């Protein structure tokens, strides 16, 4: 078995910016991923600081932020980790280092069959 892709150079990221500052990663559509809204199902919710301390899930509609603490986490207003972002969102680490911040809202929280939380996030206005 091998990896999948289109077989094009656009499958690979890493095109550095030009002198004008206009560069984009390979495969990019011309939009800045750091500015795109996204929906995510959080990982490790049952092992999170929030669930461990409070023994419950946050409510639908509660707000979240994204924190880089070795890994990307969704945290509540008090800074408690609610869950980890999947590694498919690791590009956000670079966005955070570049000064972007993100606000989210919990769209789903359920304990059955296992604790799960989903949220929608948007980049905050700079």
Contact 116, 86 (CB under 8 A): no
pTM of the model: 0.74
1-15, 44-58, 95-109: range with lowest mean pLDDT: 1-15
Non-local (6+) Cβ contacts of 122 within 8 A are 37, 102, 103, 104
Confidence of residue 126 (pLDDT cuts 50, 70, 90): low
Indicate the domain borders of the chain.
Answer: 34-123
Instruction: Give the mean model confidence (pLDDT) for residues 43-60.
Output: 97
What number of other Cβ atoms are within 10 A of residue 124's Cβ?
A: 10
Coil, helix or strand at residue 123? strand
Non-local (6+) Cβ contacts of 27 within 8 A are 10, 11, 12, 13
CA nearest neighbour of 28 among 52, 8, 2, 48: 8
Percent of residues, the chain, with pLDDT higher than 90 = 73
**Predicted local confidence at residue 6, as pLDDT:** 43
Non-local (6+) Cβ contacts of 112 within 8 A are none
Architecture per CATH, domain 34-123, reads as 2-Layer Sandwich (3.30)
Residue 93 has pLDDT above 60, yes or no: yes
Q: Model confidence over 18-39: pLDDT tens digits?
A: 444 444 444 456 789 999 999 9
16 DSSP 8-state letter: P
Percent of residues, the chain, with pLDDT higher than 70 = 75
Contact 83, 66 (CB under 8 A): no
């Amino acid at each position: 078995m091998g990896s999948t892709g289109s077989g094009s150079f656009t499958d690979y990221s890493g095109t550095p910016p030009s002198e004008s500052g206009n560069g984009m990663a390979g495969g990019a559509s011309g939009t800045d991923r750091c500015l795109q809204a996204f929906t995510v199902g959080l990982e490790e919710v049952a092992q999170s600081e929030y669930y461990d301390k409070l023994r419950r899930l946050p409510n639908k509609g509660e707000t979240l932020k994204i924190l880089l603490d070795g890994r990307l986490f969704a945290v509540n207003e008090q800074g408690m980790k609610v869950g980890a972002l999947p590694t498919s969102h690791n590009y956000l680490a670079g966005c955070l280092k570049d000064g972007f911040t993100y606000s989210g809202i919990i769209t789903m929280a359920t304990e059955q069959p296992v604790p799960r939380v989903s949220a929608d996030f948007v980049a905050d206005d700079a």
